[in-house]
């Protein structure tokens, strides 16, 4: 097939960009011809060029299908379809479609041939707003590369770097953005006094960077947790597997996730996971079968869940690294992703 892929900068950091790279790779592995139209940073003029280039490429390339890699790009697919008749796919990821206020986005979703999403929670949110979408939604889950994200011993290099010998490590990696205050890392910090009262050797290691860093550091100082919370900053991609394996528990009690890759990456390394119960986090945790889902606004519940994992007071399967890895890979292993992409195109486009 000839596929026009309308997307953000695929070389930039972020879960959606990572997802796009895997989607594009799966299309190319099928033998499809893929032409990218990417928006780069640069303000209004960059946006105008992006839209114009999308229309130009649709005329010159004559695609069999257009992929709009975010709901924000769906109106481009809508107008191209109206002008030239090309069908389009809209990829959705989570909070972007939980409350669709834009009339044009709603119209664009209704006109799409298929809408992909990464979690049942998000699919249900869309259907509640637009019941007509029920038969158009296709689940294309965030995959994980089990050959890379695999269990191993705690890395000595990181233990020495942060002085973690004999410590119980609670780990979060997230973008520290003031616009994404729903991630929950601040509530883990607030839970630390209660955690430490039960597990004195606990340390919270927070990875990531962003403009929320000053607030995070102020919170740590205000709670006198300077020696109990380590802000690691940006974690290079080549080190992330070691950070997962350093952890005794991975937690991100968020309130607005689609189905973030960090959960399946941690689970693929055999690390217990604690997530919020008010968003799409139930999908990577298989509804709580392979992780703990907690009220992300309840600091006591967050603290108690972390303590229970660190002290072994949870179902034994949740501490069984081989079990966690096997279960998560059976649904989200990267080798399944191309099969899902192939099924998507066969079901909706007979190609």
Please say if the pLDDT value at position 264 is more than 80. Answer: yes
Say what percent of the chain tops pLDDT 70: 100
Q: How far is the C-alpha of 320 from the C-alpha of 112, rounded, in Å?
A: 43
119-140 pLDDT tens trace: 999 999 999 999 999 999 999 9
- Domains in the chain (CATH in brackets) are 2-143+334-349 (3.40.50.2000), 156-332 (3.40.50.2000)
Residues 53-75 have a mean pLDDT of 97
Q: What is the mean pLDDT of residues 96-120?
A: 97
pTM above 0.75, yes or no: yes
Lowest mean pLDDT among 20-24, 41-45, 78-82, 218-222: 41-45
**Whether pLDDT at 53 is above 90:** yes
Does residue 57 carry a pLDDT above 80? yes
pLDDT band at 109 (very low <50, low <70, confident <90, very high): very high
Distance CA 160, CA 227 (A): 15
Model confidence at 92, in pLDDT bands (50, 70, 90)? very high
90 has pLDDT over 90: yes
At 204 the pLDDT is: 98
- Listing DSSP states for 174-236 in one string gives ----GGGGGG-HHHHHHHHHHHHHH-TTEEEEEE--STTHHHHHHHHHHTT-TTTEEEEE---
> Residue 99 — φ and ψ, nearest 5°?
-145, 85
Q: What are phi and psi of 112, to 5 degrees?
A: -65, 150
Question: What average pLDDT score do residues 205-232 get?
Answer: 96
- Please determine, for residue 42, whether its predicted confidence score (pLDDT) is greater than 80: no
Whether 9 has a pLDDT exceeding 90, the answer reads no
Tokens of 42: 């640069």
Query: What's the pLDDT at 258?
Result: 86
Average per-residue pLDDT for the chain: 96
Beta bridge partners of 293: 275
Instruction: Over range 215-242, report the average pLDDT.
Output: 96
pLDDT band at 305 (very low <50, low <70, confident <90, very high): very high
pLDDT band at 13 (very low <50, low <70, confident <90, very high): confident
Mean pLDDT, rounded, for 108-114: 98
Q: Which residue has the tokens 């974690």?
A: 235
**Mean pLDDT computed over 218-236:** 97
| Structure-token pair, residue 288 | 């709580």
Closest among 107, 90, 263, 276 to 174, alpha carbons compared:
263
Q: Of the given ranges (35-44, 83-92, 151-160, 207-216), which has the lowest mean pLDDT?
A: 35-44
Angle at 45 between CA 42 and CA 49, to 5 degrees: 105
- CA 184 – CA 122 distance, rounded (Å): 19
Give the pairing type, strands 2-8 and 273-276: unpaired
145: Cα separation from own chain's centroid: 14
* Per-residue confidence (pLDDT) for residue 260, from 0 to 100: 86
Beta partners for 251?
Answer: 274
Q: What is the pLDDT of residues 152-207, one digit of tens each?
A: 999 999 999 999 999 999 999 999 998 877 899 999 999 999 999 999 999 999 99
- Higher-pLDDT residue of 56 and 179 is 56
* Distance between CA atoms of residues 186 and 189, nearest Å: 5
Q: Confirm if 195 and 187 have CB atoms less than 8 A apart.
A: no
């Amino acid at each position: 097939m000839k596929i026009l892929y309308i997307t953000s900068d695929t070389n930039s950091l972020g879960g959606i960009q990572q997802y796009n790279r895997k989607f594009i790779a799966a299309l190319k592995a099928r033998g499809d011809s893929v032409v990218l139209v990417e928006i780069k940073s640069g303000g209004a003029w960059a946006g105008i060029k992006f839209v114009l280039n999308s229309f130009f490429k649709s005329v010159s390339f004559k695609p069999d299908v257009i992929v709009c890699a975010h709901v924000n790009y769906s109106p481009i697919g809508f107008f191209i379809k109206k002008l030239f008749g090309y069908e389009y796919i809209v990829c959705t990821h989570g909070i972007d479609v939980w409350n669709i206020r834009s009339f044009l986005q709603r119209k664009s979703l209704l006109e799409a041939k298929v809408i992909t999403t990464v979690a049942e929670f998000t699919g249900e949110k869309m259907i509640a707003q637009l019941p007509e979408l029920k038969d158009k939604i296709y689940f294309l889950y965030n995959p994980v590369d089990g050959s890379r994200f695999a269990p191993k011993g705690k890395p000595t290099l990181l233990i020495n770097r942060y002085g973690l010998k004999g410590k119980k490590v609670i780990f979060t990696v997230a973008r520290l953005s003031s616009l994404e205050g729903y991630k929950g890392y601040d509530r883990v910090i607030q839970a630390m006094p209660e955690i430490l009262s039960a597990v004195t050797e606990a340390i919270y290691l927070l990875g990531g960077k962003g403009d929320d860093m000053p607030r995070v550091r102020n919170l740590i100082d205000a709670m006198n947790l300077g020696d109990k919370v380590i802000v690691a900053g940006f974690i290079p991609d080549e080190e992330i597997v070691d950070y997962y394996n350093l952890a005794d528990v991975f937690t991100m009690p968020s309130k607005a996730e689609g189905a973030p890759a960090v959960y399946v990456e941690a689970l693929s390394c055999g690390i217990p996971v604690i997530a919020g119960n008010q968003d799409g986090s139930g999908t990577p945790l298989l509804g709580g079968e392979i992780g703990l889902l907690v009220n992300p606004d309840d600091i006591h519940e967050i603290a108690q869940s972390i303590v229970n994992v660190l002290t072994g007071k949870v179902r034994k399967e949740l501490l069984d690294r081989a079990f966690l890895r096997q279960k998560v890979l059976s649904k989200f292993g990267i080798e399944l992703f191309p099969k899902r992409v192939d099924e998507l195109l066969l079901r909706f486009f007979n190609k």
